[in-house]
Structure 1
Amino acid sequence: MNSFATTSFPVPTTLLATAVAALILLLIKRRLLFHSTKKLNYPPIAGTIFHLLFNLHRLVEYKTALSRKYKTFRILTPFGNYVYTADPANVEYILKLNFFNYGKGDFNYDMARDFLGDGIFAVDGDKWRQQRKIAIFEFSTKVLRDYSSRAFKNSASELTGIVSKLASCNQMMNIQDLFMKSTLDSIFKVGFGVNFGVLSRLEEGEAISKCF
């Protein structure tokens, strides 16, 4: 009886990555050709998802430079494109003059609902209107002055103490990280009535900060 041995040859990781990258480039190229044949007034293309990945270590600076050059621009991805704008007229149009035409959509709702539920920052339409009626009382001038301001002042005071301690010991600090944690503590306190202690490095606060 004859027996045959079969040997499997795994596809190298680099080959697989090259194939995926080639597919993504092809999809982006097709999208570019599609838009070039239409005469709609699209914002200029400032780059692709690859440009964002290459500049991931300085993403804020990269997008800031693009916004200074274009004001309004597009970043292409294989399955769609994102429009960025730093034009005050566009911001006013989206957030005020034609607000209901720019909903958050199902994609953003599905991503945010585990954390925000059916809150004002996640929903559209009638649910948004209902949440706005509730929120408008919380964000009155008196409430902001008496409650929200106190929460931000307490967080700022804690932040000042941490910065002062690190500076007196001549230790390096990540000020952006500290600002982020201070902001999270303040927002959680105002929005949910709970201080998770993100800035204080409490165990629960550290986990929430990392997930957020």
Structure 2
Amino acid sequence: MQLEFQFSTPLFLCTIIPPLLILILTRLRNSHVSNPTKLPTSYPIFGSIFIILKNKDRRVQWISEIITSTPNLTFTLHRPFGYRQIFTANAANVQHMLKSHFHNYHKGDTFRTTLQDFLGDGIFNADGENWKFQRQVSSHQFNTKSLRKFVEHVVDKELSDRLIPILKSAAANKTVLDFQDILQRFTFDNICKIAFGYDPAYLLPSLPEAKFAVVFDYALKLISERFNSNIPFIWKIKRALDIGSERDLKISVKEVREFAKQIIREKKQESPIESVDLLSRFLTGGHSDEDFVTDIVISFILAGRDTTSAALTWFFWLIYNHPEIENEIIKEIKESTSSEPVYDEVKNMVYTQASLSESMRLYPPVPLSTKSAVNDDVLPDGTVVRKGTRISYHPYAMGRVEGVWGADWAEFRPGRWLERAEKWSFVGRDPFTYPVFQAGPRVCLGKEMAYLQMKRVVAGVVRQFRVVPVEESLEPVYVSDFTSKMKGGFKVMIEERIDA
């Protein structure tokens, strides 16, 4: 009987696969007639893998186009072997997931297993009681005035000692800079100082390849490829065999975690009064387990490293293309301060904050976020969710919903966020309509820190320099792994302002 089964299985596959392929090719040929909507056609076994692969280099935009073409801003994508994923840009669904039914939407086993090697059990990869504990501990640290002052000091020092001199040199020598790379280096230095009390010196004038930054980048690239895999069992097989990208990932993650643990060991030897970075705060708070602290700190580096630089990169491209907005920002900066702005003055830069918020609406640093259903459920728009189903809300698509933002949604218009009486005041949006910083119990702890850092950079750079794209007429290509980037970088010339 076993021998018969071994021969009948290939026979079955040879019998069933050719007709399926003929069916698929026929449907693909006639898809423009039979499927006038943007919903992708799904086939037995294969799901929508062919159209998924066709759009793999513009995955975020493609999903957004489908979502915004549906009446309820929600659709189900069928992947190979019966795997399904729901995508939504419906604010009521987002509120349902992130707040009113928060208990039913976790990171989930698939998410945690995929990212476990890199993030461990850190706060961004945790659920349940583990997440609650880390959130409580982290929230206490983030809400201290001393941390805010420390962040302000770190950002100012990196700005005045490194970023501004590099821009001055580039302006004087007419050097082309990859401004995306410069901003990534800037934020990497900042977050390492804030999280570890460690300076990787990634933004020195020589633009060095700092070992920790390079290894961290490579590990993040590989874990992102794993996370976005359409057929997950392939990476699992590679990991089991310890070959290819999975072997490289194992080596890189080990280096990142060993580096972090070495800093933790050194930090334990220091006087607790000497430092106010997050690592020191956790250690003096009695949280001395190496793995626990390593997981948390790596999570914070991931959260603070590319998100802020991504937001700033798109912001500088947008204001160059809207000089009237740039002029308003310059006017606000000059009215706020006659030298480098202090925290309270930056806090009052409402037009700048509106411009940053509008930039992140169009080009969110994190274009989608994924949860997993703990139990069966029905979303407010009527979508049925089965236990274990992954569901992703899509901030990139949510910033493009005409019913929310109006017919001019494609325009960069900071006025959406402002009201004026005697002076401008910032008017925030419902966080479930604009979940760039998430919302509900898992809302980003570093939101205020991020705005502070971005406004300090804008005030320091825009006041003195004009950032001019080398390819002025071309819109950069938005790409994403965990965070958004400009494909190929952001090549610019720096011009020093005469009236600065």
TM-score after normalising by structure 2: 0.30
After TM superposition, the structure 1 stretch with the greater mean CA deviation from structure 2, 52-61 or 199-208, is 52-61
2:358: which partner in 1? none
Pairing 1:194–2:198 present: yes
Corresponding letter in the other structure for 2:44: R
2:161 aligned with 1:147, yes or no?
A: no
Query: Quick check: 1:206 aligned with 2:214?
Result: yes
The aligned counterpart of 2:132 is 129
Label 1:103 to 1:196 Cα distance change in 2 as closer, same or farther (>3 A). Answer: farther
Q: Distance in 1 between matches of 2:213 and 2:91?
A: 36
Q: Which structure 2 residue ranges, 5 or more long, are not aligned?
A: 1-17, 25-41, 221-500
Q: Distance in 2 between matches of 1:57 and 1:154?
A: 38
In structure 2, the residue matched to 1:99 is 102
Between the aligned partners of 1:101 and 1:72, the Cα distance in structure 2 is 19
User: Would the alpha carbon gap of residues 102 and 181 (structure 1) be closer, same or farther in structure 2, given more than 3 Å must change?
Assistant: farther
Q: What's the counterpart of residue 53 of structure 1?
A: 53
- Give the deviation of 1:130 after TM superposition: 1.1
1:30 aligns with 2:40: no
Task: Say which of 78, 100, 104 aligns to 1:76.
Answer: 78
Post-superposition offset of 1:124: 0.8
Q: d(CA) in 2 for partners of 1:108 and 1:50? A: 24
Distance in 1 (CA, whole Å) between partners of 2:54 and 2:165 is 37
Contact kept, 8 Å, 1:73 with 1:85, in 2: the verdict is yes
Q: Is the 8 A contact 1:49 1:75 kept in 2?
A: no
- Determine if contact 1:113/1:122 at 8 Å carries over to the other structure: yes
Aligned partners of 2:163 and 2:80: how far apart in 1? 42
Q: Deviations over 1:27-85 (max 9, x none)?
A: x513799xxxxxxxxxxxxxx44444333444444444445434333333214223333
Is 1:87 equivalent to 2:90 in the alignment? yes
Question: What is the CA–CA distance in structure 2 between the aligned matches of 1:172 and 1:196, rounded to whole Å?
Answer: 24
Q: Give 3-state SS (helix, strand or coil) of 2:75's partner.
A: strand
Query: Which structure is higher in RCO with an 8 Å CA cutoff and minimum separation 6?
Result: 2
Name the stretch that deviates more: 124-133 or 200-209. Answer: 200-209
> Secondary structure of the residue that 2:53 maps to in structure 1?
helix
* Residue deviations 1:68-117 (CA, integer Å, cap 9, x gap): 43433333321422333333332222222222211111222223333322
CA gap of 1:129–1:136, structure 2 versus 1, over 3 A, is: same
Aligned to 1:44: none
Aligned to 1:110: 113
Higher helix share: 1
One-letter amino acid of the structure 2 residue matched with residue 117 of structure 1? G
Moved more, 96-105 or 170-179: 170-179
Residue 144 of structure 1, CA deviation: 5.1
* 8 A contact 2:46–2:79 mirrored in 1: no
> Which is worse superposed, 64-73 or 137-146?
64-73
- d(CA) in 2 for partners of 1:168, 1:64: 42
- 2:472 is matched with none
Tell me how large the CA RMSD over aligned residues is: 3.7
Deviation at 1:205, TM superposition (A): 1.6
Q: Name the SS of the counterpart of 2:125 in structure 1.
A: coil
Q: How many pairs are equivalent?
A: 176
What is the TM-score when the length of structure 1 is the normalising length?
Answer: 0.62
Gaps of 5+ in 1: 1-18, 34-47
| % same residue | 31
The letter of the residue matching 1:82 is Q
Q: Residues of 1 paired with 2:51 and 2:157: CA distance? A: 40
SS of 1:91 mapped into structure 2: helix
- Spell out, residue by residue over 1:103-140, the C-alpha distance to the aligned partner (whole angstroms, 9 max, x if none): 11122222333332222111111111111121111121
Deviation at residue 181 of structure 1 after TM alignment: 4.2
CA pair 143-136 structure 1, distance change in 2 beyond 3 A: farther
